[in-house]
Amino acid sequence: MDRTNPEKPSGLFNGIVDWMDERFQVRTLVQSALHVKIPRKAKTFYLGGITMFLFMVQVVTGSLLALYYQPTPDRAYDSVMFIMSNVNFGWLIRSIHSWGANLMIVSVVLHLLRVFFQGVYKRPRELTWVAGMFLLIVTLVFGFTGYLLPWDQRAYWATTVGTEIAGAMPFVGEFALNFLRSGPDITASTLSRFFGMHTLWLPMTLAAMLLVHLVLFHQQGIADPTKPVSRAKPDASATPEPEGKLLPFFPHYLLSEAIAWYVILGILIILASLWPVGLEAKANALQTPAHVKPEWYFLFLYQLLKFVPRVAGVLAPIVAIPLLVLLPFFDRNPELKPRKRLFAVIIGLLTVAGIIGLTIWGQFS
Ligand code: HEM
């Protein structure tokens, strides 16, 4: 017991919290972050949290891989080989990192789709959506830069195709290709540039953007997808939501989120153990493999480029991405229910079907 206050619990943990509280007001911070109520009807499917969890897994496994990985063309391949055969559980860590990257892309896309189809990007969550779009782009660039690092044939040639797609952009294509490759060809400079981006620039950018995303999310609270957005400014004197319609964020929501993370961790370990990631022959710039394809999440673009003029295929995402980033500012319809915003929902469904169709086609052609 605290001698000055017999009611206050003592102990090492409380002592540390008291010490921190006196300096950084941690209690107030934790109280404001956790002790909030959320609408019972909110359905996030925990996808944003799962994406965040997968990012944390990537940081931990990536930091372990970086202890052995050597980013030069003559050492990169052998260092990955060394990780897989000589480092304890090295093969598992590498496989978790590779599966984690794929699952993170799946979960961020599913998170975007849930936000889109529930219409919860609308006022006042426009900037949460914009920050989210930047997170999506950074996540894709993460995958792209990581793919080259093992320096095997697949890595080398997939990066060749990927950077060629960027090079086909009108006006800025040559600049983009030279910037990405750090010169006209894929060389040692490309590898160190990709390594620097993958292990320093992108994690820092993603962490900073995520902080912005979460602060915005915390300020606005989880959206209730059954309530249309009011056109009126928020009224401070409005009657608060009845208690029965709300759920405590802590511990209820957070506990379910923790269970979701636990399940994802299980899935990740099973996938990585049953289908460990392999390594092809060492990269050889003079030996083009029979089938060169980019990673699965760029396959739709690769396939599109096969049958539309190259410039049109490259321009499509350049026009689509800014439109998608600014979507909350174009879409002024306050309704959230899918049947009351049919136009947006149909365009969304057609886009998803098109991307899935092109990806499957690209995979089997
Ligand atoms: C690394 C990528 C991302 C992470 C880690 C992340 C994380 C989160 C988390 C933890 C939440 C809280 C609710 C939930 O779990 O769903 C959230 C909400 C939200 N996210 Fe993301 N997010 C990411 C990318 C995106 C993307 C790509 C978009 C859309 C373009 C987006 C838009 C939103 C919006 C609008 C909300 C508020 C939704 C609501 O109030 O129901 N986020 N995000």
SS3 363: helix
Taking the centre of ligand 1 as the mean of its atom positions, its distance from the CA of residue 111, in whole angstroms, is 6
Cα–Cα dist 264/312, whole Å: 39
CA of residue 135 to ligand 1 center, whole Å: 9
pLDDT tens track for 10-47:
789 989 999 999 999 988 888 888 888 999 999 999 99
- Taking CA atoms, 287 is separated from 144, 180, 281, 305, in Å, by 22, 22, 11, 24
Q: What is the pLDDT of residue 126?
A: 97
Cα gap 3→150, rounded to integer Å:
60
DSSP state of 248: E
CA distance readout (Å), 14 to 4, 6, 10, 175: 14, 14, 6, 57
| Distance from the alpha carbon of residue 150 to the mean position of ligand 1, in angstroms | 31
Angle between helix 254-274 and helix 90-118 axes, rounded to 10 deg: 130
Residue with CA closest to ligand 1 atom 1: 135
Atom nearest to 136 CA in ligand 1:
27
**pLDDT of the residue at 315:** 83
Q: What is the pLDDT of residue 257?
A: 97
Establish whether residue 222 lines the binding site of ligand 1, counting it when its CB lies within 6 angstroms of any ligand atom: yes
Distance, in Å, from the CA atom of 340 to the CA atom of 322, rounded to the nearest integer, reads: 25
Sequence-ordered alpha helix ranges (H) in the chain:
12-24, 26-34, 47-66, 76-85, 90-118, 126-148, 153-167, 173-181, 188-196, 202-220, 254-274, 299-307, 310-325, 327-330, 342-364
Residues of the chain with pLDDT under 70: 1-9, 233-238
Give bridge partners of residue 282 from the DSSP assignment. Answer: 152
Say yes or no: CB of residue 138 within 6 Å of ligand 1: no
Q: Distance from the CA of 194 to the center of ligand 1, in angstroms?
A: 27
Q: Residue 223 Cα, ligand 1 centroid: separation in angstroms?
A: 11
Distance CA 167, CA 313 (A): 12
Say how far apart CA 65 and CA 11 lie, in whole Å. Answer: 39
Q: Whose CA is nearest to atom 25 of ligand 1?
A: 132
Is residue 135 a contact partner of residue 325, using CB atoms and an 8 Å limit?
no
**How far does the centroid of ligand 1 lie from the alpha carbon of residue 11, in Å?**
38
- pLDDT tens-digit map of 100-152: 999 999 999 999 999 999 999 999 999 999 999 999 999 999 999 999 999 99
Residue 149 CB contacts under 8 Å (≥ 6 apart), including other chains: 69, 71, 76, 80, 155, 191, 194, 195, 198
Distance CA 340, CA 334 (A): 9
Please tell me the distance between residue 119's alpha carbon and the centre of ligand 1 in angstroms: 13
Both tokens of 278, joined, read 């392999």
The backbone torsions φ and ψ at residue 39, rounded to the nearest 5 degrees and listed phi first, read -65, 135
Minimal-distance CA residue to ligand 1 atom 14 = 48
User: All domains of the chain, ordered by start, with CATH?
Assistant: 45-221+245-364 (1.20.810.10)
Q: Is 76 in the pocket of ligand 1 (CB under 6 A)?
A: no
Quote the ligand 1 centre to 48 CA distance (angstroms): 5
Q: Residue 61: which of 213, 198, 254, 208 has the closest Cα? A: 198
Q: The dihedral of CA 321, 323, 324, 329: what is its sign?
A: positive
Is residue 135 in contact with ligand 1, taking CB distance under 6 Å? yes
Which residue owns the Cα nearest ligand 1 atom 6? 48
Q: Which of 113, 213, 261, 336 to mutate to test the pocket of ligand 1 (most atoms within 8 A of CB)?
A: 213
Six token digits for residue 76: 């990169």
Question: How many angstroms separate the CA atoms of 264 and 117, rounded?
Answer: 23
Residue with tokens 């928020």: 234
Residue 358 CA to ligand 1 center (angstroms) comes to 26
* pTM as predicted: 0.94
Rounded distance from Cα 117 to ligand 1 centre (Å)? 13
Which residue CA neighbors atom 31 of ligand 1 most closely? 132
Task: Output the residue whose Cα is nearest ligand 1's atom 36.
Answer: 128
Whose structure tokens read 């992108």? 202
The confidence score (pLDDT) of residue 1 equals 44
Atom of ligand 1 nearest to the CA of 49: 10
Structural tokens at position 102 = 């794929």
Rounded Cα gap, residues 120 and 117, in angstroms? 8
